[in-house]
Amino acid sequence: MSSEAPPAGAPEPDHLRRFVSIWLVATIIALPLVIFVLGPNLPPGHGSDVASGQVTDNTVLTAMATPVLLLVVIYMIYATINFRQAKGGMLEGQAVRGDARLQTSWIIITGALVLSLAVYGTIRLEQGYGAGSGSGPKPLTVPSGKKLPVQVIAQQWAFTYRYPTYGGVETTHLELPVNEDIELHVTSLDVIHSFWAYQLGVKADANPGVDNVTFVKPTRIQTFEVHCAELCGLWHGAMYDHGKVVSDADFETWIHEEQRNFAATTKVLPPYALTYAPEPTERGH
Amino acid sequence: MAQPPSSEARPLWRRLIGFNLLTAVILGVGGYYLGWFIGHQINGKSFEYQEKIDENDVALLLAYVFGVIGFLIGLGFANYPISRLLGKPASLREKEDHGIARYFGLCTDHKVVGIQYLCGIGLFFFIGGLNAMLIRTELLHDTPTFVGPGQYLTIVGMHGTMMMGIFTSAALGPFANYFVPIMIGARRMAFPRIESLTFWMLIAAGFILSSTIFFGGFPTGWTGYEPLNDQAVMGMDSYIVFFALVGISMCLLGINMMATIITMRAPGLTWSRLPIFIWAVFATAVLMVLAAPMLVATLSMSALDRTINTSFFIPGGGGSSYLYENLFWFFGHPEVYILALPGFGIVLELLPVFTRKPLWGYRLAISGMLGVSLLSFFVWQHHLFVSGINADLRPFYMLSTEIISLPTGFIFLCVMGTLWKGRASFTVPMLFCMAWTFNFLIGGLSGVFLSDTPSDTTTHGSFFVMAHFHYTIMGGLVFSFFAAIYYWVPKMLGLTFNEMLGKAHFWLMFIAFNSTFMPLFALGMAGMPRRVSSYAPELKGLNVWVSISAFVLGFSMLIFLYNVVYSLIFVRKRAEANPWRSKSMEWQVPTPVPIENFPPGPIPSFDFDPYDYGVPPSPGGGAQPAPAGA
C-alpha cells in the first residue's frame, strides 16, 4: 500500500477533522442514551439471574455496536453530501490507493474490539453457568449449593415437566419456586425441539436421547412464556404455553396437588431417567 | 459433436429432432417414469407398509435421478464423452452460432450461459419471492387462517431452500460466467461443457423443488433437520434431490472458476493486478468446492435413512440428530459466505468506476475476502450454541465467529476509503452499492449479538436471526445482484434500462426492505420464534406492519420487472459502448461481445491497471488519509 501524504492545504475544508468531530459528538450523545435509556429495556427483562445477565450483555453489545454503526452511517452520509459529482460532471477523484498507517490502526482497533468481545463473552458465559443456554450433559461450570432438578420433556407438540425430587411426577405446566437454583434437564422424545422460557432467559435444544442441562434462578414472581424455538413440524408455532414463577409455599402446595392429581399416571410412567428411548420414527404419522 | 453451421436453414420439424430442450423434456419425463416404475418394483413388494399408505421414497428418488439423467442426456451432455470413448476427435464448441436457439440448450459460449443463468435465476427468484408474499399473508393473522400450518411450513421451506440453493449461483452464474473470461483475457471458460452443465442442473433442481407440492411438501425449512426429515412425507425427497443437485452444480461451478482464473489469465495479468471482482469469485469458488461436497454427502445419508432404513440420524436406531446438525452446518456456514462474498466483489468493483478513484486498499480487500473464506470453515457450531453439542467449545466458536468481523471490517474500510474525496455520481448501480453498505452493516452488527453465546440465548431461533440473515443475504447479495444487473446488463444485451424506473425501483426497494426487516429484530427480541404460523396476539400489530412493507417490497420487484419489459423489449435503446466510462476490460471489447471475445491471434498483454482512475492528489486539495477510528 502506498502511503501518500502530501501537505494538506487551502481551498477544501479539512474533511477528516470535520467528519471525526461529527462522529464524536454523535457518539457522545448516543452512548449514554443506549446505555441508560435503551439498555434497561432490552430483552429478556429481569425475570431471573441469567435473564438479567443477558440484559447486561445485550446492553454491552449494543453500546459497542453504536459507535461502529454511527461511524459508517455518518461517513456514508458525509461522503454522499461532500464527495459527489456535479450533475453531468466529468471530474476525477483523487488517485489515493491506501494508507498504510490507517489500515494498520484499523486492523489493530477492530482486532482489539473483537478479541475483547470474545473474552467478555467467555467470562460471562462461564461465570453465568451457561448464561441460560443449553450446556450439554456435563456443563463446565455448575452453581454450588442445593438445586431443584426439573426435567423438560419435549415431544410433538407439547412440553411436559418431571420433578424427580417429588416422586418423578410429570406435569403439563411448568411452575418454579422463586429465588431457588433450578437445574433444567431438557430432552426430547421424537425430533429436535428447543425449550425457550422467554422471560427467564432460558433456551436449550431438546434432542432425542440427549440430556441438555441449563441453570436458572428465577428472581421475580411472574408468568412467563414458553415457546419451542426449533422447527419441529406441523404445530411448531402452537407449541406455546405459559409457566409460572411462584413463592416457595405456593410451589409446595401446587406440586403436592399435582402429585395427588397425577398419582395414577405416575405409577405407569417409566422411571425417571435423564433420557428416554425415543420412539422408532415411523412414516406417515 | 460439431453441429453443421447451416442448421438455421433446415425446416422446423427437422430442427426439433436432435439434442435440444424438447428432447430433454421428453427424456426427462421418460426417465422419471422409468425410475418410478423401478422403484415400485424393488420396494413396493417388500415393504407392505409403504405400499399401503402410497409412500414410496425409493420410487420418487429414483424417478428424480433418472429424470435428471434423461434431461441431461436429452440436452446432449452425453454426446461428447461417448464420442470421445469411440475415438472420435475432440471438439471444443457446441451450438455457439445457433441464433436464439442457443439459449435453449447446451451451449459452450460462456456469454450465452451467463444470460441463461440470469434468466433462470430470475425465474426462481420470482418463485421464491412469491412464497415470501404468501408467508407474510399468513402472518397477517396470529393463528393459521390463510394456508394452514402444514402448507405454511412447506411455503417457508420452499422460500428458504429456493433462495439459499439457487442464489448460491446468483452472482457467479450470470456475472462470473459472463465476465470472468473477458476480464482475465480468456476466450472461454476452462470447462465450457461443465459450465453449461451447472446451469442445466440448477434448472432441473429448481423444478424438482417446486414439484414438492405434489408430494405433500416438506416441514423442515431449508435446514432439513433430522429426525423431522426422516419423519416427513415424500415431499422431503424433492428437497434432498434439489439440494444435492445444487451442491453438485455449485462444486462444479467452483472448480470451473478456479481452473479458469488460475490457468487462463492473459499474459501480464498477475495476481496482484486481478480485478477485485475476480478475487471475490475466486474466494467464493474455493468455498464452493470445499463446502458443497459435505452437503451432498449429508443429504445422501438422509436419503439412505429415508429409503433403506439406515439410521445415521435416527436416535432410535443408534444414530444422532447432532450428527446431522454438525454436518449440515459445516456446509451451511460456508454457504452463507458463498452468498455474501460475491456481493463484496461487486460493490468494490463498481465503486471505483462511480467515484472516479482507484480502489482504496486493494490488498486489504483481497485479504478481507480470503480471510472470510478461510475463517468461515471454523465457525459452524455457532448455529448450535444452545443445542448442548460440544458446549465446552463454545468460547472457541465465539472467538472464531467474532474474528470474522475483522476481515469483513476490511471490506468496509475499503468501501469508505474509496468514497473518500471521490467524485461520486449516484447512478442506479451506485445507489445499490451504497444501500449494500448500509444493509450489510446492519446485518454484520446484528451478527455480533448472535456470535455471543449469552446474548444468542435471547435471540437464537427467533425472528432476530431471520432479520439478521435477510440483512446480509437480501440486503447484501440481492442488492449487489441488482447493482450488477443495472451495471452489466447494458453490456450483456447492449440495451439500457430506463434510469427513472431504475431509481424508483431502488428507492422503493430500499425503503420497503428496511421497513420490512428492521421491525423483525424487535419481533425476535420480543420473543417471536422463527417459522411459526401462530404467534402471541400482542405481536400482531408489528406483524401486520411487516407484512404490508413486504408487499411493498414485492411491488418494487414488479417495477423492476416492468423496467425489464419496457426497456429491454419495447424501447430497446442501444447502450453506449461504455456508459459508465469504466476502464475495466469488459467495457473495452465490442458489444455484442464476439464469440471468441478477442480478435484472433495472441491475446495482448494485460499489464494495465484496472483501477486507473483519478488524478494524482494535488498539493492544494490535499490527500487526506481516510478517517480513522472505529
pLDDT (tens digit per residue) in B312-361: 998 878 889 999 999 999 999 999 999 999 999 999 999 999 999 999 99
| pLDDT tens digits for range B159-204 | 999 999 999 999 999 999 999 999 999 999 999 999 999 999 999 9
Confidence grade of residue B619 (pLDDT, cut at 50, 70, 90): low
Q: Higher model confidence: residue A168 or residue B629?
A: A168
Based on the domain organization, do B60 and B166 belong to the same domain? no
A240 touches chain B (CB under 8 A): yes
What residues in A contact B532, CB-CB < 8 Å?
A: 236-237
Contact across the interface for A133 and B420, Cβ inside 8 Å:
no
What confidence score (pLDDT) does residue B629 get?
36
The residue written with cell numbers 469488459 in the block is B586
Which residues in chain B are contacts of A232 at CB distance < 8 A?
228
Give dist(CA B288, CA B248) in Å, integer. Answer: 10
Mean pLDDT of A183-209: 94
Can you tell me whether residue A213 is helix, strand or coil? Answer: strand
Interface of B with A in 239-258 (CB under 8 A): none
CA–CA gap between residue B400 and residue B417 (Å, rounded): 26
Cα nearest neighbour of B445 on chain A: A65
Does A149 touch chain B if contact means CB atoms closer than 8 Å? Answer: no
- Do B435 and B386 fall within a single domain? yes
Q: Is the pLDDT of residue B621 over 60?
A: no
Among B68, B90, B107, which residue terminates a domain? B107
Partners of residue A160 on adjacent β-strands: A153
List strands edge to edge, sheet with A182-188. Answer: A169-171, A158-163, A148-155, A182-188, A212-216
**What are the sequence ranges of the domains in chain A?**
15-83+98-127, 148-268
In sequence order, what are the residues at sequence separation of 6 or more whose Cβ sits closer than 8 angstroms to the Cβ of residue B534?
A237, A238, A240, B142, B143, B144, B149
Mutate to test the interface with A, among B455, B462, B464 (most CBs of A within 10 A): B455
B227 and A208 in contact by Cβ < 8 A?
yes
Q: Is the pLDDT reported for residue B628 higher than 60? A: no
Q: CB distance B403–A93 less than 8 Å?
A: no
Question: Cα–Cα distance between B82 and B15 in angstroms, integer?
Answer: 22
Question: What was the pLDDT predicted at B546?
Answer: 96
Closest in A6, A126, A203 to B619, CB measured: A6
Query: Please, what's the b/e burial string for B467-498 (b: 16 or more CB within 10 A of its CB; e: otherwise)?
Result: bbbbbbbbbbbbbbbbbbbbbbbbbbbbbbbb
Parent domain of B424: 108-587
Claim to verify: residue B467 and residue B397 sit in the same structural domain: yes
Residues in chain B: 630
First and final CA of chain A: distance in angstroms?
A: 64
Pairing, β A175-177 against β A240-246: parallel
> What mean pLDDT is predicted for residues B606-623?
71
So what's the pLDDT on residue A85? 86
- Within 10 angstroms of residue B350's Cβ, the number of other Cβ atoms is 28
Determine the longest span between alpha carbons in chain B, in angstroms. Answer: 87
Looking at the structure, tell me whether residues B203 and B346 fall in a common domain: yes
Determine which helix (DSSP H) or strand (DSSP E) holds B168, and give its type and residue range. Answer: none
Work out the burial of residue A121: count CB atoms within 10 Å of its CB; fewer than 13 is exposed, 13-18 middle, 19 or more buried: buried
Would you state the cell numbers that stand for residue B25, as one nine-digit string? 423434456
Chain A contact present for B215, CB below 8 A: no
**Does A16 sit within 8 Å of B357, measured CB to CB?**
no
Is A207 part of the contact surface with chain B (CB cutoff 8 Å)?
A: yes
A106 Cβ contact partners less than 8 Å away, ≥ 6 residues apart: B409, B410, B413, B628, B630
CATH number for the domain spanning B339: value is 1.20.210.10
Nearest-Cα residue of chain B relative to residue A122: B395
CB B105 within 8 A of CB B72: no
- How do residues A11-26 score in pLDDT, each as one tens digit? 678 899 999 999 999 9
B260 and B127 within one domain: yes
**Least confidently predicted of A268-282, B222-236, B424-438, B457-471:** A268-282
pLDDT digits (tens, 9 = 90+) for B194-245: 999 999 999 999 999 999 999 989 999 999 998 899 888 899 999 999 999 9
Grid cell of B552 as nine digits: 411493498
Cell numbers placing B107: 451451449
Asked if pLDDT for residue B2 goes beyond 50, the answer is: no
Number of domain units in chain B: 2
Place of cell 455449485: B250
Please give the Cα distance from A219 to A232 (Å, whole number): 31
- Examine the domain organization and report whether B431 and B500 are in the same domain: yes
The pLDDT value given to residue B96: 65
Residue B603 lies in a domain: no
Lookup: cell for B284: 467464493
Edge to edge, what strands does the sheet with A202-206 contain? A175-177, A240-246, A222-228, A193-197, A202-206
Query: Is the ipTM beyond the 0.95 threshold?
Result: no
CA distance B509 to chain A (A): 19
Q: pLDDT tier at B1 (50, 70, 90 boundaries)?
A: very low
Residue B470 and residue B455 share a domain:
yes
Q: Name the 3-class secondary structure at B194.
A: helix
pLDDT tens column, A145-164: 899 999 999 999 899 999 99
* Rounded CA separation B380/B328 (Å): 9
Peptide bond between residue B227 and the one before it cis (omega within 30 degrees of 0): yes
Interface check for A209 against chain B (CB to CB < 8 A): the answer is yes
Q: 409403504: which residue's cell?
A: B50
Predicted pLDDT at B630: 33
* Residue in the structure block whose three cell numbers are 473518500: B420
Instruction: Give a yes or no: residue B408 inside a domain.
Output: yes
Note whether B358 contacts A43, CB cutoff 8 Å.
Answer: no
> What's at B550, amino acid-wise?
A
Measure the N-to-C terminal CA separation of chain B; round to a whole number of Å: 59
- Tell me which residue in A9, A93, A95 faces B620 most closely, judged by beta carbons: A9
Per CATH, which fold does A148-268 belong to? Immunoglobulin-like (2.60.40)
Chain B closest CA to A65's CA: distance in Å? 6
Query: Same domain for B88 and B194?
Result: no
Interchain CB contact of A40 with B (< 8 Å): no
Of the candidates A166, A171, A136, A137, the one whose C-alpha atom is nearest the C-alpha of residue A152 is: A171
Residue A187 has pLDDT above 90, yes or no: yes
- The reply to whether B616 falls in a domain is no
Do the Cβ atoms of A83 and B423 come within 8 Å?
A: yes
Looking from the CA of A129 toward its CB, the CA atoms found within 13 Å total 19
Are the C-beta atoms of B7 and B98 separated by less than 8 Å? yes
Spatial CA neighbour of A155 closest among A282, A269, A276? A276
The CA distance from A94 to the nearest CA of chain B, in Å, is 5
> From the CA of A259, how many Å to the nearest CA of chain B?
30
User: How many helices (H) does chain B have, and how many strands (E)?
Assistant: 21, 0
Residues B123 and B88 in one domain: no
Asked if the C-beta of B394 comes within 8 angstroms of chain A's C-beta atoms, the answer is: yes
Confidence of residue B44 (pLDDT cuts 50, 70, 90): low
Q: Are strands A148-155 and A182-188 parallel, antiparallel or unpaired?
A: parallel
Radius of gyration of chain A (CA): 27
List the single residue in B406, B534, B625 with the smallest CB-CB distance to A237.
B534
Residue A116 touches chain B, beta carbons under 8 Å? no
Residues 464-483 of B with CB under 8 A from A: none
Distance CA B625, CA A4 (A): 8
User: Is B605 a domain residue?
Assistant: no
Could you report the per-residue pLDDT of B391-447, keeping only the tens digit for each?
999 999 999 999 999 999 999 999 999 999 899 999 999 999 999 999 999 999 999
- Cβ–Cβ contact A39 with B under 8 A: no
- Put simply, the answer to whether A114 touches B535 (Cβ < 8 Å) is no
**B346 near B277, Cβ under 8 Å?**
yes
**pLDDT of B14 above 90:** no
Residue that terminates a domain, selected from B84, B107, B130:
B107
Residue B598 domain-assigned (yes or no): no
Q: What is the chain B residue with the closest CA to A235?
A: B149
Residues of chain A contacting residue B228, judged by C-beta atoms under 8 Å apart: 191-192, 231-233
What cell does B189 get?
A: 471458460
B462 at the A interface (CB within 8 A)?
yes
B93, B122: one domain: no
Q: Is B378 on the interface with A (CB under 8 A)?
A: no
Q: b/e string for B197-224 if b means 16 or more Cβ within 10 A?
A: bbbbbbbbbbbbbbbbeebbbbbbbbbb
Share of chain A above pLDDT 70, in %: 93
pLDDT in the model for residue A4: 41
All residues at 6 or more sequence positions from A32 whose CB lies less than 8 Å from its CB, including other chains: none
